[in-house]
Chain A
């Protein structure tokens, strides 16, 4: 049977491509922000802050495309859920970009003072969160609800790393109150990463909604 609504399908493909592109921009921003903090690279941190404007711009571009498709194509059923999912994921991506920007700003605030310890778990959190983000967007493209659910469960690993960072920093602060400010900066950075992984679970919930039509909370974060 000849496929109808070719125009809508083509527009959706462009939209998905743009969303994948926004996801890649966010992944790059997260990587760069954590590198900037790890290496205390103020210049790199400044670039992440500046580049967040492009992520915001991309968000508006995607949202505008969604609005035009709602207004002109009147999607229903799966088409409607697809468009709602893109709109929701788009908002999550923009917020993740803001969290990356937040980490970059922390690096700038930290300045040239030495780190209280070499960063180990924070880069691990970033690595895990970006991997989850990449795979969640692939699950969206493949309409793979099972993978989406599995990725949601992986948020526990990021939570555990966050808890580890929290306890470790708390012990540092108890031992030496002069480093409280710098330790708090690291705690904020870890919290931003924890929130990024939570946002990935939102994306996964939208994928499940897209495939099954059910709105459900899959993994409730401890934080």
Chain B
């Protein structure tokens, strides 16, 4: 089935309608967050969050410092489990499973949902070993296959051309921007479905930032990308959908173009206009 669209100019010039080969597919791998609340001890950080994160789109979460953006992101691959007094209620449905269900394999969930952090954190190993690490601990022994996946991941991150002659030198010698792309390559190597990015450009210069942003746009063809950023211009530039979080509540969630040109909520308008935050 082909999608057919009749554009303004096609009507004007009396031309046949345009056809598009893009099939409308039912997104089976959306992440559905239902009534998610989180408290650290007595302090409630997330308050009944409900949102559906679309598959193979870039979703940005924005909001002032301390609003719960990173906490929400960390909930998606159960990173908050490691915090002793964190209490989580609600559900996060991914791959037809509640990731907080007692039967869920947390390791497997984290394999499917990779994460990239604020500061690049390469292992003190070679560039090659950084990317191969995840593959090896997941039991892959075939060296040819490992090499193939390492190269593909580096290529996907636009890093292969820059490092192909020094794959076996230390990753610590790379620039900050290159290290961050290496961390993304490391996350991609184990073929996750979702990539969570927690302020991935805050430690980078503008040129490296734009490279990471272009990389995100490229990655969304194959992965679901969720980014937390305090830089709302970055959210506007790269994302398809944006959520505005304030004091633990999801105030507004929707199409990025609409949210940045005609937000529904006054609070969102005040925040993106710089009136507070």
Q: Chain A residues in contact with chain B, CB under 8 A?
A: 2, 4-8, 21, 24-25, 28, 51, 54-55, 57-58, 61, 67-68, 71-74
Complex-state Cα separation, A57 to B7, whole angstroms: 10
Specify which of A4, A25, A67 is in contact with B211 (CB 8 Å cutoff). Answer: A4
B interface size (C-beta, 8 A) = 20
B224 at the interface (CB under 8 A from A): no
| CB-defined contacts of B261 to chain A, threshold 8 Å | 67-68, 71
Complex-state Cα separation, A72 to B9, whole angstroms: 26
Complex-state Cα separation, A7 to B260, whole angstroms: 17
| CB-defined contacts of B13 to chain A, threshold 8 Å | 25, 28
B237 at the interface (CB under 8 A from A): yes
B8 at the interface (CB under 8 A from A): yes
Across the A-B interface, give the 6 residue pairs with the lowest CB-CB distance, nearest first: A4-B210, A72-B236, A54-B12, A71-B260, A68-B257, A71-B261
Cβ of A25 and Cβ of B9 under 8 Å apart? yes
Give per-residue flags for B150-163: 1 if the beta carbon is below 8 A from chain A beta carbons, else 0.
00000000100000
Cβ of B237 and Cβ of A73 under 8 Å apart? yes
20 A/B residue pairs, CB under 8 Å, sorted by A: A2-B158, A4-B207, A4-B211, A7-B213, A7-B217, A7-B238, A24-B9, A51-B12, A54-B8, A55-B12, A57-B8, A61-B8, A68-B257, A68-B260, A71-B236, A71-B260, A72-B236, A73-B237, A74-B233, A74-B237
| CB-defined contacts of A55 to chain B, threshold 8 Å | 12
Q: How far is the CB of B237 from chain A (nearest CB, A)?
A: 6
Specify which of B9, B233, B237 is in contact with A7 (CB 8 Å cutoff). Answer: B237
Specify which of A5, A8, A58 is in contact with B8 (CB 8 Å cutoff). Answer: A58
| CB-defined contacts of B11 to chain A, threshold 8 Å | 54
Are A21 and B211 also in contact (CB < 8 A) when A71-B261, A72-B236, A72-B257 are? no
Q: Name the interface residues of B183-216: CB closer than 8 Å to any CB of A.
A: 207, 210-211, 213-214
| CB-defined contacts of A4 to chain B, threshold 8 Å | 207, 210-211, 214
Specify which of A6, A25, A61 is in contact with B217 (CB 8 Å cutoff). Answer: A6
Cβ of B237 and Cβ of A58 under 8 Å apart? no
Complex-state Cα separation, A6 to B9, whole angstroms: 26
Residues of B contacting A: mostly: helix
Complex-state Cα separation, A21 to B10, whole angstroms: 10
Q: How far is the CB of B263 from chain A (nearest CB, A)?
A: 10
Among A7, A24, A72, chain B packs the most CB atoms within 10 A around the CB of: A72
Complex-state Cα separation, A55 to B238, whole angstroms: 31
Cβ of A71 and Cβ of B257 under 8 Å apart? yes
Q: How far is the CB of A2 from chain B (nearest CB, A)?
A: 7
| CB-defined contacts of A71 to chain B, threshold 8 Å | 236, 257, 260-261
For B217, the closest partner residue in chain A by CB is: A7
| CB-defined contacts of A5 to chain B, threshold 8 Å | 210, 214
| CB-defined contacts of A73 to chain B, threshold 8 Å | 236-237
Complex-state Cα separation, A2 to B210, whole angstroms: 10
Specify which of A8, A54, A68, A74 is in contact with B9 (CB 8 Å cutoff). Answer: A54
Complex-state Cα separation, A6 to B261, whole angstroms: 22
| CB-defined contacts of B214 to chain A, threshold 8 Å | 4-7
| CB-defined contacts of B256 to chain A, threshold 8 Å | 72
Cβ of B9 and Cβ of A21 under 8 Å apart? yes
For B261, the closest partner residue in chain A by CB is: A71
| CB-defined contacts of A67 to chain B, threshold 8 Å | 261
Complex-state Cα separation, A71 to B272, whole angstroms: 10
Q: How far is the CB of B230 from chain A (nearest CB, A)?
A: 16
For B256, the closest partner residue in chain A by CB is: A72
Q: How far is the CB of A51 from chain B (nearest CB, A)?
A: 6
For B210, the closest partner residue in chain A by CB is: A4
| CB-defined contacts of B233 to chain A, threshold 8 Å | 74
| CB-defined contacts of B158 to chain A, threshold 8 Å | 2
| CB-defined contacts of B217 to chain A, threshold 8 Å | 6-7
Complex-state Cα separation, A8 to B213, whole angstroms: 11
Are A74 and B236 also in contact (CB < 8 A) when A5-B210, A6-B217, A68-B261 are? yes
Complex-state Cα separation, A58 to B11, whole angstroms: 11
Are A25 and B238 also in contact (CB < 8 A) when A4-B214, A72-B257 are? no
Complex-state Cα separation, A4 to B158, whole angstroms: 12
